[in-house]
Amino acid sequence: MIMHEIAKVTLDTEMDLILAHKHTMKLAELTGMSLASQTTFATAVSEVSRTAIDRGMGASLILGLDNPKAQEWNLVALLNDRPEHGLDEHQFGLHYAQKLVDSFQVNTTSENTQISLYFRIFPSNRITEVKINQWKSLFQNELALSPYEEIKRKNRQLHALADRLKESETRYRTLTDSLPLIICTVNPQGKLLYANEWLVTYTGMTIQTINDRHWQGLFHAEDPAAQSAFWMDVLKKLQPFQFEVRIPEAQTQQYRWHMASFAPMFDEKKTLTHWSGFFVDIHAQKTIEKTLQANEALKHTQQKLEEYQQELESKVIELNRSNEELAQFAYVASHDLQEPLRKIQSFSTMLRVHYVADLKPEVTSLLERMHSSAERMHGLIKDLLTYSRLNTQPQPFQVVSLTEVFTDVLEDLDSVIQSSNAQIDLGPLPAVAGNSQQLHQLFQNLVSNALKFVPEDRTPQIRIYAHTSEHLPSKVLYDNRCVCITVEDNGIGFDEQYKDRIFQLFQRLHTRSEYVGTGIGLTICKKVAELHGGTIEVKSVPGKGSTFSVYLCKG
């Protein structure tokens, strides 16, 4: 079998694993494979490569093509490792990779261990010798897409150069001195044996200076490489290692990030003779990483702004809905309510003017009270129309006596109270900061509902009192000066699952044939309470009554 080698990757670190995966995906893409097939083969290659990297450095991966039947082409990945790293094909990674490819082989000799992965290419007629040569050239001349790939290339080049340049020290020095990176060798005791001219040019320190200082001052004090414990740990393993460190530039006295790579060198008796390594500037790469991190933070902030924008749009929709409700309320108040009220006022005026002489004193008194109530009703409707515009035309608050407010409320509802024999227990009430007419409407609605929603065979009992509460609702704005006004009744009550619904505009729990009303009373109560920096809550038990708690700011 003749395999056409396209690309090769040494497998030392996790970055090499990424590089191997990228090259595999690229070659699979060039052959015309679908994205699913590309991913499947690249995954299999990654699993095998990861197993080799986990066992140590020294493995390599070759990617290529073969056509054993002269018609069908296969995408091939050959992983070569040292023989002492005999790989167990029953390991999870290898077992999983075996399931992903068309053919999977493991061959171990005295020289190496080789794993072969084959994946058929459909259709194969796309593969030609011309394309294969083009792809070889593409991978050989491909520019590095990341700083690590560039470092990796330099690393391979430098180690290859080191092997060849052992024949001539002069040639080696000439070449290394021409490179803009620090190349050095260190003996097992940690002393510099050799360094190219770039060490002195960049750091301003000679080999003698560094040895006299025991490397102190060459690295940033906060980097692990500046600590002796770091070197004791990595050197005793006698394995190649890499690390990142900041080195000061002599001309600017600014620290720049470098990638260091060291490998142990042994003699024919496998005794460590020295360490060979280099330091290459990766400051640009670090800057890019920080920029990417900043971009991620910027994306996160942008995402938050988009969420806030969506929330704002939702608030605008809610505001528009609220405005529509207010418009509906204004229509009902200005048309449906005012017309019958005008008739009441007109008829009461006619009786008082034209028939006063024919009426008994007690009738006249009732007529006066009726007219007074009608006038108050007229004023309340006007105030409710004004209230519907309070969001755009707020009014200043005054100190309002709640005792006076409830006295007026009970007087307005006197006829209902008398006819139902209702028992009203009015406790001491404080003064609050607010609008008296709005508060009058709030509590009149609550007391009116307490009188209305009562079984026919039950005498209404209403208890009104004030108290402070340790646990205030979150919507209360002035918790340090808050008072709770409670209105309890013994009415029909309701299921608390509807406690939010009853405060919505025109929402009713009963039909108009059962209990009259427009369905806006409790909506008004909630709006008034919130406009006063407070809120309203309710607890209820079906058949046993309801308790409304209104939180207001003290005067």
CATH code for the domain in which residue 55 is found: 3.30.565.10
Q: What is the 3-state secondary structure (H, E, C) of 455-514?
A: CCCCCCEEEEEEECCCCCCCCCCCHHHEEEEEEEECCCCCCHHHCCHHHCCCCCCCCCCC
The string of DSSP letters for 439-453 reads HHHHHHHHHHHHHHS
Q: Within a domain: residue 520?
A: yes
Number of domains in the chain: 4
For residues 6 and 131, is the Cβ–Cβ distance under 8 A? no
Residue ranges, the chain, pLDDT below 50: 145, 387, 390, 392, 507, 510-517
Q: Within a domain: residue 286?
A: no
Residues 172 and 200 in one domain: yes
Residues 263 and 166 in one domain: yes
Which residue among 371, 394, 417 closes a domain?
394
Q: Within a domain: residue 222?
A: yes
Tell me how far apart the alpha carbons of residues 99 and 121 are, in angstroms, rounded to a whole number: 17
377-393 pLDDT per residue, tens? 776 676 556 546 545 45
Residue 19 exposed, middle or buried by CB count within 10 Å (0-12, 13-18, 19+) = buried
Which residue among 107, 142, 177 closes a domain?
142
Residues 176 and 237 in one domain: yes
Q: What is the domain range of residue 258?
A: 153-281
Residues 258 and 326 in one domain: no
Residues 411 and 545 in one domain: yes
Among 316, 541, 550, CA closest to 446:
550
Q: So what's the pLDDT on residue 513?
A: 42
Q: Within a domain: residue 148?
A: no
Residues 486 and 464 in one domain: yes
Paired with 11 in beta bridges are 59
Q: What is the 3-state secondary structure (H, E, C) of 327-384?
A: HHHHHHHHHHHHHHHHHHHHHHHHHHHHCHHHCCHHHHHHHHHHHHHHHHHHHHHHHH
End-to-end Cα spacing for the chain: 98
Paired with 431 in beta bridges are 401
Residues 72 and 189 in one domain: no
Domain at 221, CATH number? 3.30.450.20
Q: So what's the pLDDT on residue 313?
A: 81
Contacts 24+ apart (CB under 8 A), 297-300: none
4-62 pLDDT per residue, tens? 899 888 888 888 888 888 889 999 899 888 888 889 998 989 888 888 888 776 788 99
Q: Within a domain: residue 484?
A: yes
Q: Within a domain: residue 289?
A: no
Which residue among 122, 142, 162 closes a domain?
142
Q: So what's the pLDDT on residue 516?
A: 47
**Residue carrying structure tokens 């094909």:** 89
Residues 206 and 87 in one domain: no
Q: Within a domain: residue 287?
A: no
Residues 376 and 429 in one domain: no
Among 441, 449, 433, CA closest to 526:
441
Residues 422 and 549 in one domain: yes
Residues 263 and 173 in one domain: yes
Contacts of residue 525, defined as CB under 8 A and 6 or more positions apart, other chains included, come to 442, 445, 446, 503, 536, 548, 550
Q: Which amino acid is at 62?
A: I
Residues 324 and 412 in one domain: no
